[in-house]
Structure 1
Amino acid sequence: MDKKDVLIDSLYIDNKKVIKFWPMYIISFAFLIIAFIISEEIADYLVRIINIIICFGVMLMTAATSKFSKYKLFIFSGICFFIIGLLNSIHITTVTSVNEYLYYSDLYIQIKNLAESLYLFMALKLIYNNYSSSKALMQYVFLLLFAVILMQMSIYFHVNVFVIRMYILAIILILASISLIKSLINTTSENNKINYFSIFISLLVITYYLNFINLFIYKPFIQLMIEEFTFLAYSIIYISLSEKLLNKPYKTIFNDTYERTLQLEVLNREIYLKNKEMENGRKYLKERETVYRTLFNNIPLPMVIINNNNKRIIYANKQFLFLFRLKSIKDAVNKSILNFLVIKENTTVKENNCLNYEGEVSIEEKRVELEIREFMLNNETHESMLIFKDITEKRRIERIKINVEQKKLEEKMRSDFLSTISHDLKTPINVIYSAAQLIKIFLENDNYETIKKYNIINKDNCMTLIRLTNNLIDNSQINYDYLKPQLAIFNIVEIIEDTIMHLAEYIKSKDLDLIFDTEEEELLVSCDKGFIERIILNLISNAVKYTKKGSIFVNITCNDSKVFIQVIDSGKGISKEYLENAFKKYMVTDKSRVTTEKSTGLGLYVVKSLVELQGGQVIIESNKDKGTKVELQFMKEKGYEKF
């Protein structure tokens, strides 16, 4: 409903509603004239009593209908009329003598008129300016109290009553005129409807102007007109508000109830037909359910239907009960599927609309492995069907195959290892033996330069034998958990530098450059000196073996808590596939690292084991044809005791 419709609905009333009360108005006027002829005071009392009844009647109507009244004007009007009626009541009950009546009557009348004019003014602001009813009521009460206080102060300070009346009338006329003009401007013509509020304002404005004239020229006829217009104004507002608050809502409720009754009859008929359809559908579904339940129970695969939200079993077939050794379906329904089995992690695979994963369960002290296929049945109810397949035997055969392949691989690696060991042992020994035979001849011929050359060859082969022997011994001790580090605090820079110096001639003989660099001359580490020497020997030997031309870098750096030792070569590097298994025992399968020397596959395995026994870490990085970097990390110590 837009603003115009709201105004029409709240301010306009059917002409016929007003016209049918004219006979009552005429009779009332006749009685009023008779009362006025008898006594002006009686007529005034009579009009005031009628006004009080109307004011309290409007208040009671608005209070009774406040919960379902749509318009804030009516609630505001009820409160204001209550105040106006209260003022009239105070006037009648407090004035006890004729003299008091003559002295104070006009003042009380003006206060009542002021309350009326303030009501008209605030009501129009409420209607047309979209005022809130609480704000309008607060302003109304404040202004009225202010006027009453001024009046009482004027009487207390013996201000001329005539002057007070003049001021109050001036305010009333201003407010009433503004209200009348605003009402007439906003009044629109509607077919067979009149604006009862504009008529109410107009009649009250007439009484105010007559009061103003009566102030200077008192005539009984003017007083009679004031009483008649006041009675007419209050009668119209009472009849109109009665229609708006009582008759119209009653008719609306009756019409709505009648229409709702008709609609309910139609709905009842539709519900009856729908119930018949539902009954037929229920019978059909019951038959289908029996068919599907029979089919579901007789499928030779264990199957359950679960709720995906809480994983609880909704239904299970006979094969599921047999698989999990359950006596009846009651032992499965409404229990979590996770109570019966354990889902294996990282086994989920999605295929089209199906999820495949694996689980396992212990049945009669036997471990059973299951393949589970999950199908979504209903997205709205989050129901899924699980189909189970026993794959225990299949997985057992797969494990046997893996073990057989592993044994074959280990046997081959062991065979290759023994072959390599025999070669690595025989070759240096044969070279040393041959050199020893030749040295005797060179001594007889005084060929000392050649003797020096063969001495270097012997030294290299001895170093190879030492490294191989150390690795074999370390490997054996590691396997039997016999190798224990003798930890003490050493200057690791000194240990590494001494070890490298012993290898300098060997590296130079291979046409390689050795570069040693350290940030600090003294870095203290808790370690086993022999382990560190064997680690560096293995790393340098590997670097020499796989670097045909270039350089070998040994860098030592540190931070606040750790010491970092890096051995970097510019050799062939290691492929990514081999890099993942570089520290495993017997790993010599990297085809990209072409060399004329055979490898036992123990070097890096021993290095990693020795580093970890000392509480360190080892990291390897490599790119094919770009070299390899091996980094050792040890915790830094603050003080040391050298052994």
Structure 2
Amino acid sequence: METKIMDKDKALVKPEVFKKIILATTLGVILIYISFINYLLFHTVIEVATVIFYFSVSIIAINTYKISNNSYFTFLGISFAFSGFFNLLHALTYKGIGIFYGDTANLATQLWIITRFLQSVSLLIAFTFIEKKLKEKTSILIYLIISIFLLLSVFLWGIFPDCYVTGVGLTLFKKLGEYVIALISIASILILMKNKKAFDKSVYTYMIFSLAIMIVSEIFFTLYSDVFDISNMIGHVMYAVSSYLMYKVVSTICIKNPYELLFYQLSETNQALKLKAEELEKSNEKLKIEIRKHRITENELIISEKRYKTLVDNLPDAIFVHVDGEIQLVNDEAKKLLGASDSSEIQGKMLSSFIHKDYHSLLYKRLDNLKEESSIVPIVEEKFIKLNGQIVDVDITSTCSVKEGKNVVISVVRDITERKLLNEVIEYDNLKREFFANISHEFRTPLNIIHATVQFIEKYIIDDSSDNTREKLERNIKSVKHNCYRLLRLVNNLIDSTKIDSGFLKLSLTNCNIVNVIEEITLSVAQYVETKKVRLVFDTDVEEKIMACDIEKMERIMLNLLSNAVKFTNPGDDIFVLIEDRGESIIISVRDTGIGIPKQKLEVIFDKFRQVDKSLTRNHEGSGMGLSIVKALVDMQGGKITVNSKYGEGSEFKMQFPTKVLDFNEADLEIAADSDRIDPVHIEFSDIYF
């Protein structure tokens, strides 16, 4: 069986990496074993190795910063020199070394904390120099000042907090310090991950492991109460491993990679020289080829110039090329714009002679800007004067380039006369829409007064009149009311049509039982249908369906469709109002067996002001806006309306609405009815003669 470790192509762990892991583990076990026999030897070996790593990092990074061109690692080299110095002091002050006398446990621990703080903070600050240039002398001076202050605070002033108390163990400051160092290292990992692309893959991996092992070692350094605790020994071993990994990072970036790149570039240069020599040997042949290419290029330039001229001549905009305001070249559209039959009528003249005098100051200002900035001036609107004196509105923009020491300006001019005319038409259309809205409201006010007066007459005068007088009054008042309804229907349609066009008609949605709403609307027109001797049938396949809709708009839709059905049916015909539940949607259809709609009218039946019956002798009145409003109201509620009809057999209007339900509390509130609102049934059915 093949092992995954030995297979170089498919191995989970590369052989050389596997060997290093085995070696590091073995060394760690040996060192921990030595610590149980002679802790002083163990500690000295660890600290000396770490100091060597620190100074190696410093020497490599500082002395190779010119070829590595990496301020990040140069900064680490400077900081590690000072960290190595404090770590060396820590090792020399350790109890048993013999350089310092007395109980030096606290002193050694203080120097240890200083070393770790310097290292962790430096690793965090170093990220600012990934893209920023480092001032080496300034950095060294800052570290020197900080180091002197720390040495004085420990050895002379005695103000540095105690870190170890004999017989008690680690102080709270020392433990908190280790945790703070661990947090700083975590922050360094997060920033490193954010700047992952700035590092080589192997370097990034080494740095991640180094910082992670450093964090774990800090945790172990908070767990011991006696220096001979296993946690202290493991912490020292992991600390050494972390320092070694950082040494590997710096040596890879500052020595191996730069020199590999250097020798690679030398090799590439040699190869390039060989190729150059071969090229020189064939120079005569290549020169001939270049001459042929040059001739081909000249021909292509001539062709390109012709194409460019053709393009300019065929552009839909007028082109004026002018120098110091004098026109040098124009295209066909420019001649067309100014009404010239030949270019000679324009070329050689000043551009200002074709621009209305009101825009001369703007022209000169824009030309000055082009000379100063040699860029493009934005589009502005001006007026041009044609050769026949006619004034046209144009949009003009210009760009400038320097040719043979002169500013050559190219102005692109577009005739916007038609566009301005269109804008005027649109503005007029808006004014017309506003006029309809205003006139509709003006109609509505006196109509409401007339209707109120008729109601007053019905209530207070007719009852007190004689039979003969009462009959005449009732007949005339009925006629007045009927025509009031017709005018109100027209006014309402005009107002709603204007609101729809302007986007001012809004929905008032509420959750309701749509089946009940449609049924009540259908029953409200029963008396009108009976007078026509037409049978009205309501049917549904579901008794209750809660959905969000605008009840008033739905009433408007149904009454309009029902009044149309009544208009175009004869005595004995049927009108069907059907509801079909389709789960996420509901179908509401109004079908009749009346006269139907001609095929050619089906495509325009929902267009505004379109009528099926346009004859002067048509049976029923109407403005032609009803179905267009119905379609707009259906669309506003997310629905879709279609019509199927066969002339002579009847029509069917089918509406499909999504059965969405509002999920906010206000959806369930009932909307108070307008007490002054005139019965919509009377209004919608006012076009039907009874």
TM-score above 0.5, yes or no: no
TM-score bracket for this pair, using the shorter chain length: 0.3 to 0.5
- TM-score, length-scaled by structure 2: 0.34
Larger C-alpha radius of gyration, 1 or 2?
1
